[in-house]
Structure 1
Amino acid sequence: MKRMGGLVLSIIILLAVVLAGCGTGKEKSAGETASPSASEAETSQPKDTPDSGKGDGDGVYDPPIEVTTGKYIYGFPIYGEGEDMNNNSWTQYLKENLGIQVKTLWEVPMDDLEQKTNLMIASRDLPDFFLVTDAQLAQLNKAGMIEDLTDVYREHAPDNVRLFIEQAGQEVMDAATFNGKLMALPFTGVSKENAPMVWVREDWMKKLNLPEPKTMDDLLAISEAFTTQDPDDNGKNDTFGLGVDMNLEYVSGFMNGFHAYRDIWVQDQNGGLVYGSIQPEMKTVLGKLQDMYKTGQIDKEFGVKNTGKVNESISNNKIGMYYNTLPAGIGLSLSQDPEKENTRWIPYPAPSIDASPTLLQHDRNTFHGFWVVKKGVKHPEAMLKLADAWIKLFYLNMSDDIFKKYNFGDDVSHWMNAPIKMFKSYKNAEISVHLEPLLKSDTKATAAQLAELIPEERDEYDKILKYRNGDFSQWGWASRSDIGGSGSIVMGYVKNNQFKPNQFLGSSTPAMVQKNATLAKMELEVFTKIILGDSLDRFDTFVKDWNKLGGDQMTKEVNDWYKNK
């Protein structure tokens, strides 16, 4: 039932490619340990410890060992002059500093990775470690083709790797565990960081003298005012209060404000799992969206507009409020014409319909899947050392020169050559935490203070200062990391534990394989028609049809998995 919308995927790729390494921890000296309280655990920092792996002696293999892998790539330059997939800054670093010679057997575009891996599995010709999907992990485990990493992780996992796993949430380890055995290392992701918030046009709010959207009633009042009170002052009834797209991606946060959770499995009062899209709260929020459509607050053509088309309407000054994620302000800023008068959008936490806080839904906090080790590999712990090296160079480095050599330099994305990657759950949101003391000061940061920041943070601090000094082209960065920006909103979600994870973490069940595509299509069609004006009672019919056409069987299979996980 897991679905990665194009919007979310593009945002994750943007974060990985454009903002690599943001929101990271500070270096710690050798031997330094952290003892965070439970409330601090989510924002504990990685450590730069010379020997954080427990492998061979000082952590360096002597003589060097060779490990093989395959690699996915995106469509941008990743090699400098004279480099290739087996001779680049990363392969050189890993051999010199860890005694690990990484041999890449092949590289394919990300879109072709799953097919390439399927062919590789079918041939049983596997590299030593590689990246797999949920279904491939289950297949490899069942066939006995991958290593049990339970003891390897317990005995050899560096502190940095453990911290990333902890921040990603227990669900990522649960998803990698079969019958009590850890069979993979989760490729931790940023789905929590991409929890939605409300972005509102500041100029329209000021013109109409509207309060901030602290409650759902406030938000609904803003939407109505943006629709009926001519906020663009052109004398026409041509603006919409809330941005909605044809796949309903932009309204997941709105639904969450009504405690409705579309397309994920949630726990019911009896301790079992139920499908969020068929719960009574979903009927309530669909009724509200229908009312907003009838009163012109939603674009009449939303049913044929994807998120890209909605973004065009936003750029054309037709929409005044929508739900989006942490970097939305950067995208909004880049879409504006620097020669014209610009518009600021202000982020706010997603409000709730009642006194209970909004919980923001997210799927399992992994990026592309899981890293696995081929059965019989002599040094399975090497994969953990490679992951630790990634964290140190991608997140902990504080040198501009090292950053250019291993991450971004001369328009080359060197970071793609790291053989194993893990993303910090709040890597971009935490920039706001690190910059806050400097941005609250009345004086500019000293050289010593700037030296405590990593390169990306120094760059962002500089952009925010430029914005404060009148360079409006930098407001997108300020919208994320300045005081009160979207980064601080995400960290508020973290502090208040405002997350609603998908409780089903397994591979697709037999009924899902057979029925899910049909049921998902029916769901979107029914929800869209209800918003467009069909009887709200059609929701009840949909629930019955969903159960009859395969939902009951999926629910049984999901709960069988849940009881035995």
Structure 2
Amino acid sequence: MGGGNVVPAKYMKRFCLAVISIMLGAGGMTGCTAYNAASSPPNPDAAIRSAVGGKEAKYDPPIEVTMVNQSYGSVSFAEGEDMNANRWRTYIKDHYGIAVKTLWDAPWDQLEQKTNLMISTGEIPDIFLVTPMQLVLLNKAGMIEDLTDVYRDYAPQNVKDVVAEAGEEALEAAMIKGRLMALPFTGYQKETVTIVWIREDWMNKLKLAGPKTMDDLLAISKAFTERDPDGNGKADTYGLPLDKHLGFLQAMFNGYHAYKNIWIKDSNGNLAYGSVQPEAKTALAKMQELYKSGQIDKEFGVKDSAKVLESIGRNAIGIYFGSMTGGYTLADLTPGVRWRPYPLPSIDGKPALLQHALNINYGFWVVRKGMERPEALFKLADVWLKLFYENKDDDLYETYNSDQKIGFFTQAPVQIYKSFKNMEISAHLAPLLQSGKPAGAEELSKLTPEERLNYGFIQKYKAGDQSYWKYHSRNGIGGAGDIIGEYVKNNRFMPDQFIGVPTSAMVQKRTFLDKMELETMIKIITGAPIEQFDQFVTEWKSMGGDLITQEVNEWYKNK
């Protein structure tokens, strides 16, 4: 299986026909320690050897698997290493009997184009990463393996667990006509949903309690706007952040059970576009009220998110809609200031659901049609999970993940991300932090190296070093990790229900419709009659929205 594999002419013909079909349907879319790869890397101890599967998981004799990969540049390699001679390739061959040969690599922003060119030549590797559109095209052409049975019979449980954790829609996105055609490159969209961050010093000064409802949150916003929380005697503070692209509006929408720019299920079980639903009108009416009362910067319409962060940095805004790592951003913007994280509240007794995009990173891992050992894909995903996420040995971590100078983990040929890694850190540290005494060696040995590192940073914060507050804000007791845990426990997620490739009407109409949506929402927030929302919905439907909705539901019923 060495080198690229020439696709049979019949498959190339089918691929070209598939490209033509979809293109026409879319309206004509077009300084570290040197490393000797030949030498043996550090051997894992018995526990690690057991964790990676032992001899029973190793091909004997070894097999060769060709790939193409994304590249990360010099950040990936020590002196003497390259894309084929490096510690990950050596480890995989020694412990799994897989000799990975990378034919070429490309930066993320060039990967899609270079992959398209590769496919057009008929030379494809055994395993490679593709976009959703490329997955559809390759399947139509019969160029990739059906992995349904292979996944069921050979995928290790840890791989299946990570895929399941990503949400059922992630696996569904890799299925075509009920057959699994790829392994989703699972992402961390769920862990980056909205958490509300509020300045602790302003709350203490104004004697405000944390918000439990949307009304509570808006009362805090009003107080931050009107009661001079910074004590300078000027009316120069705002409660809420908002930018010209309305990125921060998503949080307020979700608090009103509205969902911006995603597709949701309606009461009839059909898919409907969230931005044109009645709940969006209610949320916009409230935003207009907040704008008129001065709780939103009057100049938000000309400021991008970076400018909003600048306003936070100069102590002008006291509420921030961020992710569970928001404390890291805020620590840099407002040194010495602590912010408290809170779950996003709702306007009524029904919990707010947090919207997110399809929980994948870039796309899908596919296997060339006819590859003799397609299950090798799942073994490569397994070794990634074992070394990157599950390993508890410091030496292995430094060798294969990072020595704080080079990100060796980027050498891994196949990656899938755990959806809640940072939340798990909080859960694993909680018993130790709640005990009130320093953790012993045995307790620390049960943590991963990253967890031990975070535990040490939080202990330094608790000892009085405020420069470590950001670590506490994410993984300490009462930190953002606990909030994500609550979201998971109560399933407070609203994933985008449309996970297919863009429909033909989307390609032709979406840019115009998105522009009309943005302009209308800004006009309403800044004072236009709320009835303009109804006019917008009518125009959205007549100018392509109804056709897009029809195509989306055709996809939904036939997926």
TM-score of the aligned structures, taking structure 2 as reference length: 0.90
What residue is the counterpart of 1:16 in the other structure?
A: none
C-alpha distance in 2, partners of 1:295/1:507? 42
Q: Deviations over 1:269-292 (max 9, x none)?
A: 111110000000000101111111
What residue is the counterpart of 2:532 in the other structure?
A: 538
What residue is the counterpart of 2:40 in the other structure?
A: none
What residue is the counterpart of 1:179 in the other structure?
A: 177
Q: Deviations over 1:330-357 (max 9, x none)?
A: 12113345xxxx1111100000100100
What residue is the counterpart of 1:464 in the other structure?
A: 458
Q: Deviations over 1:404-451 (max 9, x none)?
A: 111101511111110000111101111110000010112100111111
What residue is the counterpart of 2:429 in the other structure?
A: 435
- Once the two structures are TM-superposed, the CA of residue 49 in structure 1 deviates from its matched residue by 5.6
What residue is the counterpart of 1:284 in the other structure?
A: 282
What residue is the counterpart of 2:264 in the other structure?
A: 266
Matched to 2:77, the amino acid is Y
C-alpha distance in 2, partners of 1:373/1:305? 45
Bigger CA drift: 429-438 or 525-534?
A: 525-534
- Note if 1:162 corresponds to 2:160: yes
- Once the two structures are TM-superposed, the CA of residue 122 in structure 1 deviates from its matched residue by 2.1
What residue is the counterpart of 2:474 in the other structure?
A: 480
What residue is the counterpart of 2:105 in the other structure?
A: 107
The 8 Å contact of residues 353 and 492 in structure 2, kept in 1 or not, is answered as: yes
C-alpha distance in 1, partners of 2:426/2:480? 9
C-alpha distance in 1, partners of 2:77/2:240? 44
C-alpha distance in 2, partners of 1:304/1:135? 35
The 8 Å contact of residues 251 and 344 in structure 2, kept in 1 or not, is answered as: yes
What residue is the counterpart of 1:150 in the other structure?
A: 148
- Note if 1:118 corresponds to 2:116: yes
Matched to 1:141, the amino acid is N
C-alpha distance in 1, partners of 2:496/2:381? 26
Bigger CA drift: 226-235 or 371-380?
A: 371-380
Name which of 366, 382, 390 aligns with 1:396: 390
C-alpha distance in 1, partners of 2:348/2:46? 43
The 8 Å contact of residues 238 and 296 in structure 2, kept in 1 or not, is answered as: yes
C-alpha distance in 2, partners of 1:133/1:521? 25
Question: What is the SS of the residue equivalent to 1:350?
Answer: coil
The 8 Å contact of residues 200 and 320 in structure 1, kept in 2 or not, is answered as: yes
- Once the two structures are TM-superposed, the CA of residue 28 in structure 1 deviates from its matched residue by 12
C-alpha distance in 2, partners of 1:500/1:135? 24
Matched to 2:463, the amino acid is N
The 8 Å contact of residues 309 and 333 in structure 2, kept in 1 or not, is answered as: no
C-alpha distance in 2, partners of 1:219/1:159? 42
- Note if 1:69 corresponds to 2:67: yes
Name which of 347, 363, 378 aligns with 1:369: 363
- Note if 1:421 corresponds to 2:381: no
- Note if 1:323 corresponds to 2:326: no
What residue is the counterpart of 1:93 in the other structure?
A: 91
C-alpha distance in 1, partners of 2:101/2:484? 39
Matched to 1:108, the amino acid is A
Name which of 422, 440, 445 aligns with 1:446: 440
Residues 28/223 of structure 1: CA separation in 2 closer, same or farther (3 Å cut): farther
- Note if 1:500 corresponds to 2:471: no
Bigger CA drift: 522-531 or 379-388?
A: 522-531
- Once the two structures are TM-superposed, the CA of residue 73 in structure 1 deviates from its matched residue by 2.5
- Note if 1:48 corresponds to 2:46: no
Residues 64/441 of structure 1: CA separation in 2 closer, same or farther (3 Å cut): same
Q: Deviations over 1:259-316 (max 9, x none)?
A: 0001111111111110000000000101111111111111111112221111111111
C-alpha distance in 1, partners of 2:404/2:475? 26
- Once the two structures are TM-superposed, the CA of residue 535 in structure 1 deviates from its matched residue by 1.3
Q: Deviations over 1:318-340 (max 9, x none)?
A: 10002110101012113345xxx
- Once the two structures are TM-superposed, the CA of residue 121 in structure 1 deviates from its matched residue by 2.0
Q: Deviations over 1:13-59 (max 9, x none)?
A: xxxxxxxxxxxxxx99799xxxxxxxxxxxxxxx93626xxxxx812
Residues 129/531 of structure 1: CA separation in 2 closer, same or farther (3 Å cut): same
The 8 Å contact of residues 28 and 49 in structure 1, kept in 2 or not, is answered as: no
C-alpha distance in 1, partners of 2:47/2:431? 22
- Note if 1:217 corresponds to 2:215: yes
What residue is the counterpart of 1:244 in the other structure?
A: 242
Q: Which runs of 5+ in 1 are unaligned?
A: 1-26, 32-46, 52-56
Higher relative contact order (CA 8 A, sep 6+): 1
Matched to 1:368, the amino acid is Y
Matched to 2:301, the amino acid is G
Bigger CA drift: 243-252 or 144-153?
A: 243-252
Question: What is the SS of the residue equivalent to 2:88?
Answer: helix
Q: Deviations over 1:129-185 (max 9, x none)?
A: 111111111111111111111111111110110000111111111111111110000
What residue is the counterpart of 2:295 in the other structure?
A: 297
- Once the two structures are TM-superposed, the CA of residue 245 in structure 1 deviates from its matched residue by 1.5
C-alpha distance in 1, partners of 2:312/2:366? 43
Question: What is the SS of the residue equivalent to 1:540?
Answer: helix
Paired-residue identity, %? 55
C-alpha distance in 1, partners of 2:321/2:463? 29
Aligned length: 515
Question: How large is the Cα RMSD of the aligned pairs?
Answer: 1.6
Question: What is the SS of the residue equivalent to 1:286?
Answer: helix
C-alpha distance in 1, partners of 2:556/2:448? 42
- Once the two structures are TM-superposed, the CA of residue 124 in structure 1 deviates from its matched residue by 2.5
The 8 Å contact of residues 76 and 413 in structure 1, kept in 2 or not, is answered as: no
- Once the two structures are TM-superposed, the CA of residue 470 in structure 1 deviates from its matched residue by 0.9
Question: What is the SS of the residue equivalent to 1:445?
Answer: coil
C-alpha distance in 2, partners of 1:74/1:411? 14
Q: Which runs of 5+ in 2 are unaligned?
A: 1-44
C-alpha distance in 2, partners of 1:28/1:503? 44
The 8 Å contact of residues 245 and 302 in structure 1, kept in 2 or not, is answered as: yes
C-alpha distance in 1, partners of 2:280/2:160? 37
Select the structure of larger CA radius of gyration. Answer: 2
TM-score of the aligned structures, taking structure 1 as reference length: 0.89
Bigger CA drift: 75-84 or 435-444?
A: 75-84
What residue is the counterpart of 2:29 in the other structure?
A: none
Question: What is the SS of the residue equivalent to 1:58?
Answer: helix
Question: What is the SS of the residue equivalent to 1:239?
Answer: coil
Q: Deviations over 1:463-522 (max 9, x none)?
A: 111111111010011000111100000010000110111111111111111111111121
The 8 Å contact of residues 69 and 105 in structure 1, kept in 2 or not, is answered as: yes
Q: Deviations over 1:363-384 (max 9, x none)?
A: 1111111101111111111010
Matched to 2:287, the amino acid is L
- Once the two structures are TM-superposed, the CA of residue 106 in structure 1 deviates from its matched residue by 1.2
The 8 Å contact of residues 129 and 365 in structure 2, kept in 1 or not, is answered as: yes
C-alpha distance in 2, partners of 1:119/1:204? 56
Matched to 2:537, the amino acid is V
What residue is the counterpart of 2:33 in the other structure?
A: none
Matched to 1:236, the amino acid is K
What residue is the counterpart of 2:20 in the other structure?
A: none
C-alpha distance in 1, partners of 2:549/2:127? 34
- Once the two structures are TM-superposed, the CA of residue 107 in structure 1 deviates from its matched residue by 1.5
